[in-house]
Amino acid sequence: MMSQFQIRKDNFLTQRLVPLGASVTDSPLAPGQIRLAVDSFSFTANNITYAAAGDIHGYWQFYPPVGEDSLGWGVIPVWGFATVVDSCCNQITVGERLFGYFPPGNTDGYAASTGLPTVIVDMSGNSVKLKQLAQRLGENLNYTIRVGLTHWDESQGDAGLVDAKSEFFFVPTYILKRMQDWGPQRFSERSERFLHASAAWSRNWLKIRTVEGLSGLAKIYPDICQGKLAADEGVVVALTPSR
């Protein structure tokens, strides 16, 4: 049975699997549309950031939750691979495999110095820790770039940072800027080279942990949500195609 993995927007530890009805899986495609079956996807602390910033940056809007009792539930977007199972687009054929931004469904680390002006690149969004660091560094703190919200339960918004020396790094904004600076073709080429080099480098330290199906994701999700998974471990969710 095809399902969708959902969490409560007001309590990320509350989760459920909701069956996908025929209206979702068999609805006719409009011209230019394609239908995909998700094969596998990664799931990391960054996905928890998507949930924590779901209302701020619109992550909840990408894939609305299915089911009659959907109020208060959300779907965390994921990056993964999918196979085209139906197509009304001349440029994309059935059987083609794509990498992209999909729904999960089948169809406190800091480094600081009190001396080397400092820039903080924060993945956690832990307001208390950021405030402590800012106070300790004082005038030596040049800038703070807030990237993530992995400590979603300890993010209070006000971290005592100076607005002129702090910003939230939102990837889509910088992607658009680089596309304008370099042009779409050059951006695509440079991005692809970077992804290949990063993947090759990660083989030296990254351990891949594969879990089977959305039920496997449901089991490991609490550990990811609470930051209990080892930092050198990457999770891939393998989905078995529905027949």
Write down the pLDDT at residue 114: 35
**How far apart (Å, rounded) are the C-alpha atoms in residues 61 and 59?**
5
Write down the pLDDT at residue 201: 92
Residue 12's closest CA among 108, 154, 116, 133? 154
Class of domain 3-107+205-238: alpha beta
Write down the pLDDT at residue 99: 82
Reported as a single tens digit per residue, the pLDDT across 52-78 is 888 888 899 888 898 888 999 999 999
**How far apart (Å, rounded) are the C-alpha atoms in residues 143 and 165?**
5
Q: Which residues pair with 8 in a beta bridge?
A: 11, 73
Rg of the chain over CA atoms, in angstroms? 20
Write down the pLDDT at residue 113: 32
Domain ranges of the chain: 3-107+205-238, 118-168
Answer whether 0.75 is exceeded by the pTM: no
**How far apart (Å, rounded) are the C-alpha atoms in residues 145 and 123?**
9
**How far apart (Å, rounded) are the C-alpha atoms in residues 207 and 231?**
9
Please list the ranges in the chain whose pLDDT falls under 50: 108-115, 243
3-state secondary structure at position 137:
helix
Write down the pLDDT at residue 105: 80
3-state secondary structure at position 29:
coil
